A and B are shown apart, each in its own frame.
Chain A
Amino acid sequence: MDAIRWVQDLPFSTWIRESSWAVFTFLILHMWGLALLVGGSALVALRNFGFAKTIEPALFKRFTPVMWTGFVLALISGLLLLMAYPAKHLTNPVFAVKFAFLIAGALLTRRLLNGSGSLRLTAAAVLLAWAGVIACGDLLKYTNTVLLVY
């Protein structure tokens, strides 16, 4: 808890909370990250369900930079929001579940990109993982119990 207080009381964290534009700007970047990362990954999943099947699955690796861009955008904006409100998120089990889904989504997407043929089950698991990330991310707004700062 001391570490959490130290982070939230940093001048930069305080600035994020008090700035008139920082929080919504980071949330916009977070949603852009979602669009590029989940968008790219869901496209790969669709290919593995048998759509656009005239395209070799391995060719979808060309969208990897798009997914990385989305991931980095979401990660940086997410870390900035976490700095502003560390207690709110780090004390919420939903936040841990979100990360479990995130790791699953990333690893399973990599498996789709490196696999061959139609990996339907893996593709379904990828979509489920992103659904979990989005659901947990949204629920963070409603399920927090500890709020040390506003």
Chain B
Amino acid sequence: MDIETIAQFGHDSGLYALLHTKYGWPIAEIIHFMSVGVLFASVGMLDLRLMGVAKALPVRPLARLVPFGVAAFIVNLATGFAFFVNAPDQYAYNPAFQLKMATIGIAGLNMIAFYALAAKGAHATGPGEDAPPIARLIAGVSLAAWLTVIIFGRLLTYFRPPWHWCAWC
């Protein structure tokens, strides 16, 4: 699929027109940022607990809040998709956007690793107990990944094509 086709879809779907109404763009941004807050409320705070912050809390009930983070991520994906199809060349050729997507990919693989290797031991961590080392490691990677996603999310509005500034541009 080439950029033109995606841009055409942006127009045909009405997403371009929607974002270019008076408050369309800010409202989409506001929803995007609120979802960041919800993602950190569930996944971010769970990561911190597994890393040893607020150890008085048992892990299992906190881990049940992960669906809120998944829901927030889907909202972020939806608003992000609207931004992307609105001006696909500004994103696809933007190294900050490419790195943001790569970091989200790492966060996704890391999440799979958590459920495959660490969830059982992590969930059994009671009040005052340390999570198993593998769970602490994966939680650290998760938190670092999401904080990095924020970095690249900010950078992509500052360093835009056609200003080429990366090794692979």
Binding site for B on A (CB under 8 A): 24, 27-28, 31-32, 34-36, 38-43, 45-46, 51-55, 59-60, 62-63, 65-66, 130-131, 134-135, 137-139, 141-142
Q: List 24 A-B contacts (CB under 8 A).
A: A24-B154, A32-B150, A35-B36, A35-B146, A38-B37, A40-B40, A40-B45, A42-B37, A42-B40, A42-B41, A45-B41, A46-B41, A46-B42, A46-B68, A51-B64, A52-B64, A53-B61, A55-B58, A55-B62, A66-B53, A66-B54, A130-B34, A134-B37, A138-B33
A32-B147 contact given A24-B155, A38-B40, CB 8 Å threshold:
yes
A62 touching B151, Cβ below 8 Å: no
**Shortest beta-carbon distance from A70 to chain B in Å:** 9
Apart from A36-B44, A43-B65, A134-B37: 13 A-B pairs, beta carbons within 8 A: A34-B37, A35-B150, A39-B39, A40-B45, A43-B45, A51-B65, A52-B64, A55-B61, A62-B57, A63-B53, A131-B30, A138-B26, A142-B26
- By size class, the interface of chain B is 35 or more
A59-B44 contact given A42-B38, A52-B65, A130-B37, CB 8 Å threshold:
no
Which residue of chain A has its CB nearest to the CB of B69? A39
**Shortest beta-carbon distance from B116 to chain A in Å:** 24
Which residues of chain B are within 8 angstroms of A52 by Cβ–Cβ distance? 61-62, 64-65
- How long is the Cα–Cα vector from A40 to B56 in the complex, in angstroms? 15
B154 touching A36, Cβ below 8 Å: no
Which residues of chain B are within 8 angstroms of A38 by Cβ–Cβ distance? 37, 40-41
Q: Mark B39-80, 1 if CB is under 8 A from A, else 0.
A: 111101100100001111110011011001000000000000
A39 touching B41, Cβ below 8 Å: yes
- How long is the Cα–Cα vector from A36 to B41 in the complex, in angstroms? 8
- How long is the Cα–Cα vector from A137 to B160 in the complex, in angstroms? 23
- How long is the Cα–Cα vector from A142 to B61 in the complex, in angstroms? 41
